[in-house]
């Protein structure tokens, strides 16, 4: 009985660790804070409201599939990161900015970290990372949030 309980506890803890590694929204060394994560439902609401102030939404992944977002390309590539830098250079530091990729779970997305680091280093003050912990299909498309045409 004791052994069974120990096995159960071990599996439970191991599963917790696995699950948190897979879909965690923020790791220890990630260049964003929990407060900088933007709930997809909140962005969808803003995008669906023409009277609401619209943030600048940058896609730093494979495709700009969110309504009104600007396609930068994968930020893991230096040339794309430079494109983003060029656009940011023209903006006031307090511009409302949202970045997203959504290719893969946050833990292994190669694009969001370079983009968020750039925003941090350029001392922007009002930028968010769209919280797509699994991917843009599960966390955006499947929820029927607004899409680019």
Partner 1 sequence: MSVVLLLIVGTISAQSTGLEPGNKSPEIKLPNTKGDTVALSSLKGKLVLIDFWGTWCAPCVAEQAELARLYNKYKQSAFTNGKGFEIYGVSLDAKKSNWENFITTNKINWIQVSDLKFWRSPVAKTYNIQALPFNILMDGNGIILAKNLHGIDLEKGIIRFLRK
If one asks whether residue 146 binds partner 1 (CB under 8 A), the answer comes out as no
Q: Which residues contact 42 (CB under 8 A, 6 or more apart)?
A: none
If one asks whether residue 44 binds partner 1 (CB under 8 A), the answer comes out as no
Site for partner 1 in 75-114 (CB under 8 A): 102-105, 108, 110
Residue 122 buriedness (CB in 10 A; 0-12 / 13-18 / 19+): middle
8 Å CB contact between 115 and 58:
yes
Query: Which range, of 10-18, 46-54, 86-94, 118-126, touches partner 1 by CB under 8 A?
Result: 10-18
Helices (H), the chain: 2-23, 40-47, 78-89, 112-121, 136-139
Which of 72, 81, 135, 145 is in the footprint of partner 1 by CB under 8 A?
135
SS3 category, 1: coil
Which of 46, 62, 70, 122 is in the footprint of partner 1 by CB under 8 A?
62
Helices (H), 24-128: 40-47, 78-89, 112-121
Query: Which range, of 18-26, 34-42, 89-97, 113-121, touches partner 1 by CB under 8 A?
Result: 18-26
Site for partner 1 in 115-134 (CB under 8 A): 134
- Binding footprint of partner 1 on the chain (CB under 8 A): 9, 11-12, 15-16, 18-19, 22-23, 61-63, 65, 74, 102-105, 108, 110, 134-138, 141, 147
């Amino acid at each position: 009985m004791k052994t069974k309980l120990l096995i159960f506890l071990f599996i439970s803890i191991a599963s917790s660790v696995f699950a948190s590694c897979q879909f965690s929204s923020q790791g220890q060394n990630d260049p964003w804070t929990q407060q900088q994560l933007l709930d997809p439902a909140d962005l969808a609401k803003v995008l669906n409201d023409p009277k609401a102030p619209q943030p600048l939404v940058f896609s730093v992944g494979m495709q700009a599939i969110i309504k009104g977002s600007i396609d930068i390309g994968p930020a893991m590539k230096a040339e794309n990161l430079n494109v983003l830098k060029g656009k940011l250079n023209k903006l006031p530091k307090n511009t409302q900015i949202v970045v997203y990729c959504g290719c893969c779970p946050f833990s292994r997305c190669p694009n969001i970290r370079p983009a968020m680091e750039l925003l941090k280093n350029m001392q922007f003050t009002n930028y968010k990372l769209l919280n797509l912990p699994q991917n843009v299909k599960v966390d955006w498309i499947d929820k029927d949030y607004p899409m680019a045409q």
